[in-house]
Amino acid sequence: MKARLRLLILAWLAACTLNPRSALAGSPPGPPWRGVHLMAPDAARLPLVQRAVVERLAPQGVNLIVFEINYRFAWRSHPELAQPGALTREQAREFASVCRSNHIRLIPLFNCLGHQSWAKQTAPLLAKYPEFDETPRIPPDNPGIYCRSWCPQHPEVNTVVFALMDELLEAFAADALHVGMDEVFLIGHEQCERCRGQDPAKLFARAVNDYHRHLVGERRVEMLMWGDRLLDDATMKYGEWEASRNGTAPAIELIPKDIIICDWHYEPRAEYPSVPFFQERGFRVLPSSWRNRDAALALLDYARAQNRGKVVGHLCTTWVGADQIARVLLGEGETAGEQPRQVVDALKACLARLAAEPVHPRD
């Protein structure tokens, strides 16, 4: 029996060595995630962020960083999509190495489908490929909308997007990718010749399934996404931001259950019903908080109480430049605004609570 067990262990280790991504799905349970979401800084500011990771985040127990890249990367497949100050492949590898040496899992985030503009600025994909736009007749300065979306049914959009995903996985040596997909308000729009009149839930599910097929099915990595568009606000009563009022919620019945749902809520509540809801539907859940300290602790504590074996830890989002967070963490943020200070305060409170009373290990 012992000899057989040794052989099985050696075989598993060999599989990990030859293809660590394919071994991931069958890996044993790990410790609960103590996660931080960081917005990728300009290339010149990455060393400051790395110092904060080594000197502050790792010693405080952080073992997961969700690193939101979007278009701040020097793409080789599509160099026309790189934003100014983009991180290089060499910087990505260095940052990934820093995280690994400090026992931190690094997961890049690339916003898919929605969040393709901000205020008057359209993101590079739709600026360079306007034919992918779900709402092509909205003027370039984006009046009257929150964020643009790309069309999930354009026959060529995924060819570009998958190339970007693959570059991030390779550059960061990542075994997972977060595809974003929060706050998608423009879907099935009448301006889109392919999507007008179609069921928003089916369109949303199609996009999710396309990304899952590529990432999990072909690349053999894990997939994470924000959960708000899968929640029906008529039931959840979260409001139109943290839940859906535009018909996407039924997509939850049409997508794979091995996706990790980052369930974000930023206001204090007595209950967060989506935490048990996602678990009941078979999903692993990563509750995600922001800058309100009381709300962050309320979500963390509620998720702990409602854990049915599928709460994988906790994620603290930041939503300001990672360099601003780094300065506050390092005690160099004398000129930092209120938001970075609030974010760091909530982050420290959550890490302290997790250290004292950790969420049960992941299943």
The set of long-range contacts for 87-92, using a CB threshold of 8 Å and a minimum separation of 24, is: 87/40, 87/43, 87/46, 88/43, 89/167, 89/171, 91/43, 91/46, 92/168, 92/171, 92/172
Would you state the structure tokens that stand for residue 321, as one six-digit string?
A: 């430049």
**Residues paired with residue 176 on neighbouring β-strands, in sequence order:** 222
**Residue-by-residue pLDDT tens, the chain, 363 positions:** 444 444 444 444 434 433 334 334 433 367 899 999 999 999 999 999 999 999 999 999 999 999 999 999 999 999 999 999 999 999 999 999 999 999 999 999 999 999 999 999 999 999 999 999 999 999 999 999 999 999 999 999 999 999 999 999 999 999 999 999 999 999 999 999 999 999 999 999 999 999 999 999 999 999 999 999 999 999 999 999 999 999 999 999 999 999 999 999 999 999 999 999 999 999 999 999 999 999 999 999 999 999 999 999 999 999 999 999 999 999 997 778 899 999 999 999 999 999 987 655 444
Domain boundaries defined on the chain: 37-356
**What does the pLDDT read at residue 356?**
85
Taking alpha carbons only, the member of 243, 207, 146, 124 closest to residue 135 is: 146
Q: What pLDDT sits at residue 19? A: 38
C-alpha distances in angstroms, 291 versus 122, 178, 297? 27, 21, 11
Between strands 64-68 and 33-39, the pairing is: parallel
pLDDT for position 16? 42
Superfamily of domain 37-356: Glycosidases (3.20.20.80)
- 98-104 LR contacts (CB < 8 Å, sep 24+): 98/50, 98/53, 98/54, 99/53, 99/65, 100/173, 102/53, 102/54, 102/58, 103/58, 103/63, 104/53, 104/57, 104/58, 104/62, 104/63, 104/64, 104/65
With 0-12 CB in 10 A as exposed, 13-18 as middle and 19+ as buried, what is 359?
Answer: buried
* Distance (Å) of CA 214 to CA 4, 264, 313: 35, 25, 26
Structure tokens at 183: 């706050």
Q: What pLDDT does residue 28 have? A: 38
SS3 244: strand
Query: What is the token pair recorded at 218?
Result: 């072909």
Angstrom distance (rounded) from CA 27 to CA 18 = 14
**Would the pTM count as exceeding 0.85?**
yes
pLDDT of residue 9: 41
C-beta of residue 231 within 8 angstroms of C-beta of residue 238: yes
d(CA 340, CA 82): 26
